[in-house]
Amino acid sequence: MTLALELAYWQQLAIKVLAILVIVPTATAIIVQTFLFKMMAHMQSRLGPMEAGPHGTLQLMADGAKFVQKELLAPARADRRVFTLAPVVVLLSTFLLFVVIPAGPGIVAENLDLGIFFALAVSSISVLGVLMAGWASANKYALMGGLRAAGQLIAYELPLVLAVVGVVIQAGDLSLQGIVRAQAEGEIFGFGLIGLPFVLTQFLGFALFLIATQAELTQPPFDMPVAESELVAGFQVEYSGLQFLYFYLGEFGAAFAFSALAATMFLGGWWVPGLDLEGGLLANVVGPVVLFAKTMAVAFVIFWIRFTYPRLREDQLQSFAWKYLIPLSLVNILVTGAFKVIF
Amino acid sequence: MSMLTEHQQRAYIGGQAAEARVNLELETDGMTLNIGPQHPATHGTLRIITRLDGEQVISAEPVMGYMHRGYEKLTEVRTYPQINTLINRIDWLSSFANEVPFILAAERLMEIEAPPRAQWIRTIFFELSRIANITLFLGEMGVQLGAITAVFYAFRDREHVLNQIEAATGGRFHPNYDRIGGLKEDLPKGWVAETKSVMAKVRDFCDEMETLVGTNEIFETRTRGIGVIPVEVALGYGLSGANIRASGLDWDLRRDSDTPLAWKEVDWKVWTHPDGDSFARYWVRLQETREATLIVDQLLDGLPAGPIMAKVPRIIKVPPGEAWVATENPLGEMGYYLVSKGDLGPFRVKIRTPSFNNISIVPWVLKGVYVPDVITILASLYFILGDIDR
């Protein structure tokens, strides 16, 4: 904070915007390279990209350059304005997610008091973009994909929010910095050295959050909106070049952001024992590294599930959400509330 | 238009009507969706015109012929050895199994019997091509449901089997190994031991698939009770192979028909499943792959010595007559009705391919299911486009 406070508001803003503009593509690149290219290849017992650069490390550059070179095509009957806007809306939602995630005591674009509420709210905007893309493509497959995404929204957004409520009750704070602080200052039966990562008490909430995240990211087992074997690629089917890249950035950027959110809410965020909660150079340097490590750990789990499970059917997702996820998250809230009152 | 059949006309009109309907505003009484001919779930160029209400299929009609290569006609202008190369390409995943019934039909007309060693090796290769074919199905079924990992494992382990086929025949996909009166050449040295180790690997693969896909809860919810085909309906549509065994009918041409191949010499079991749903079809094929490895193991143990070629004239002319030979191919009953007038090539060949009959049930079985289930059911019926259109 000390560094940023000496600057004028517009200078701060410029730095923040620039930082997020750099972080989102970088995070996406790391996620795609590590998990989509390499981990997936190892799990499926194949090589993955190997030719571009040592061990295929430059494959992303090649892919990025490929997308930039490609012509932007739009179907003749597409609603041009909405068609162009849709990928931007999806990407926007991803960018906004990064605004509230703290990576150190002073490293956060905007420490909103309603941080987690804001994060969940903006994450839902992406569905709007998906629906726009599905409708504007003038393609039946895209339309079905878009409508499935909209139907899915209700099914997973509720458990997602309800899973977070448990954390919020326990922390007594909606801001993500506050949640990190609550975990750092917590104690396990009087043993306060490692704080109290909420995953220990909110394990049910953590599981529910991860499941709902899979749906939010339209990944298997909840990838019906894109379902490549039935809807070919759903709402993305008519997109090419940079616009397709935007969807990609949006999807994997959101994967990183949601992993970071989960790491912040359940694994203690940027804090590890020994770091000063109030600020200081050490915490601001080590914090981002810690958060990154925890985020990658969560992302590993998310992508592991992605590469392993088959896809559910739309109605099966609905019944799964309403019969199991939502009741379970309500129970979680009830129990958390009861414990909060008792202790 | 006059050149088109009524079926094609209807398909064409259906397509045009669908186009027109998109332009009509607020037309909400259903939608026509063309699944294919370019669609990843149709393994090639099958087209299915579906009429949808929301995501529910009101009616579905398969349109085939996009890959028609006219093999029945082509056989009339080829000599018998040439036809062997041609029919390799019908069901391209189990090419050797395509050769066998044709060669057997020709042998029957010529009254030649291949020596026992040749028959045993034929049976071994028949089962190897079954394994090469069905392993791919086991993975493919996963990928159609979104579990992409399974298909890579399938490709990885199918490679071992293809290597064995290549080692003996020189061809990975199209061996062209069967000859009237015997085989092209004998097995190479060390092949028997190597094939046995490959069979063990395939059994491991089957176990892996069972844990990875077959017993997965999501897989079961997606396939159990989906696309149920009662045995009477299956019989009515002429289904064969694992599709009808999954409906509970205990019928396998390897056991039930009278061919000179060596299945009768070994112990094995015909697997059936009472349910008739997509899961049953997957399960039956999984068991059959495992059973096929056991058959190969036993055949390799008991492989008789001797020549691999009977006495056959240098220029093959088949005496006049008619013969029908059908075998239990990986996809179902495959048969050749061979009519000869005593020439170098046949007068007429009717090819009965299993996939053609197997997908004839599509309009019946897809009625009322959801779009995602269309893919599951098509995948579980398991067809090869070359086998449909030939």
Copy the structure tokens of residue A167.
């954390």
Copy the structure tokens of residue A324.
């199991």
Task: Return the ∠ at Cα A152 (arms to A150 and A158), rounded to 5°.
Answer: 110
A115 neighbors A175 (Cβ within 8 angstroms):
yes
User: Could you please report the per-residue DSSP string of B68-135?
Assistant: ---HHHHGGGS-HHHHHHHHTTSSTTSHHHHHHHHHHHHHHHHT----HHHHHHHHHHHHHHHHHHHH
What's the whole-number mean pLDDT along residues A282-307?
85
Q: What is residue B1's predicted lDDT score, i.e. its pLDDT?
A: 39
- Beta carbons of B148 and A307 less than 8 Å apart: yes
B354 neighbors B331 (Cβ within 8 angstroms):
yes
Provide ipTM, 2 decimals: 0.74
**Count of the separate structural domains present in chain B:** 1
Query: Which CATH number do you get for residue B152?
Result: 1.10.645.10
pLDDT digits (tens, 9 = 90+) for A64-109: 888 888 888 888 888 888 888 888 898 888 888 888 888 877 777 7
pLDDT digits (tens, 9 = 90+) for B43-73: 777 888 888 877 778 888 888 888 888 888 8
Looking at chain B, the whole-number percentage of residues with pLDDT higher than 70 is 92
Helix (H, G, I), strand (E, B) or coil at A181: helix
| CA-wise closest residue to A157 among A332, A322, A323 | A322
- Say yes or no to pLDDT of B317 above 50: yes
Alpha-carbon Rg for chain A, nearest whole angstrom, is 20
- Beta carbons of A314 and B22 less than 8 Å apart: no
Copy the structure tokens of residue B318.
């088949």
Residue B13 forms part of a structural domain: no
Size of interface A-B (CB pairs under 8 A): 81
Q: What is residue A340's predicted lDDT score, i.e. its pLDDT?
A: 79
Q: What is residue B26's predicted lDDT score, i.e. its pLDDT?
A: 52
Q: What is residue B22's predicted lDDT score, i.e. its pLDDT?
A: 57
- Beta carbons of B216 and A43 less than 8 Å apart: no
Residue B8 forms part of a structural domain: no
Q: What is residue A95's predicted lDDT score, i.e. its pLDDT?
A: 86
Residue A313 vs residues A291, B77, B264: alpha-carbon distances, Å? 35, 50, 44
Residue B132 forms part of a structural domain: yes
What's the whole-number mean pLDDT along residues B342-363?
87
d(CA B377, CA B126): 27
pLDDT digits (tens, 9 = 90+) for A81-91: 888 888 889 88
β-sheet bridge partners, residue B33: B50
pLDDT digits (tens, 9 = 90+) for A289-300: 888 888 888 988
Q: What is residue B2's predicted lDDT score, i.e. its pLDDT?
A: 45
A232 touches chain B (CB under 8 A): yes
- Kindly report the pTM of this predicted structure: 0.80
- Say yes or no to pLDDT of B98 above 60: yes
- The whole domain housing B142 covers 63-389
Comparing alpha-carbon positions, the chain A residue that sits nearest to B31 is A140
Q: What is residue B266's predicted lDDT score, i.e. its pLDDT?
A: 87
d(CA B67, CA B12): 17
Helix (H, G, I), strand (E, B) or coil at B325: strand
Copy the structure tokens of residue A80.
């041009």
Q: Which residues contact residue A215 at a Cβ distance below 8 angstroms, ignoring those fewer than 6 apart? A: A152, A155, A156, A222, A317
Helix (H, G, I), strand (E, B) or coil at B31: strand
Residue B134 forms part of a structural domain: yes
At residue A262, φ and ψ (nearest 5 deg) are -65, -40
Comparing alpha-carbon positions, the chain B residue that sits nearest to A313 is B372
> Which of B31, B149, B159, B366 should be substituted to probe chain A, the one whose Cβ sees the most A Cβ atoms within 10 Å?
B149
Collect all residues of chain A within an 8 Å Cβ-Cβ radius of residue B375: 229-230
How close is the nearest chain A Cα to the Cα of B219, in Å? 6
Residue B223 vs residues A250, B42, B202, B236, B374: alpha-carbon distances, Å? 32, 18, 24, 23, 11
β-sheet bridge partners, residue B57: B52
Q: What is residue B5's predicted lDDT score, i.e. its pLDDT?
A: 64
Copy the structure tokens of residue A249.
């950035």
- Beta carbons of B218 and A312 less than 8 Å apart: yes
A69 touches chain B (CB under 8 A): no
- Beta carbons of A227 and B39 less than 8 Å apart: no
Residue B258 forms part of a structural domain: yes
Residue B59 vs residues A230, B228, B377: alpha-carbon distances, Å? 17, 16, 15
Residue A139 vs residues A244, A266, B87, B206, B264: alpha-carbon distances, Å? 16, 41, 39, 40, 55
Residue A257 vs residues A24, A31, A197, A218, A260: alpha-carbon distances, Å? 9, 11, 19, 14, 5
d(CA B140, CA B278): 13
- Beta carbons of A310 and B216 less than 8 Å apart: yes
- Beta carbons of B222 and A138 less than 8 Å apart: no
Helix (H, G, I), strand (E, B) or coil at A311: coil
Residues 133-192 of B with CB under 8 A from A: 142-149, 152-153, 156
d(CA A262, CA A198): 10
B332 neighbors B241 (Cβ within 8 angstroms):
yes
A51 touches chain B (CB under 8 A): no
d(CA A203, CA A336): 11
How close is the nearest chain B Cα to the Cα of A276, in Å? 44
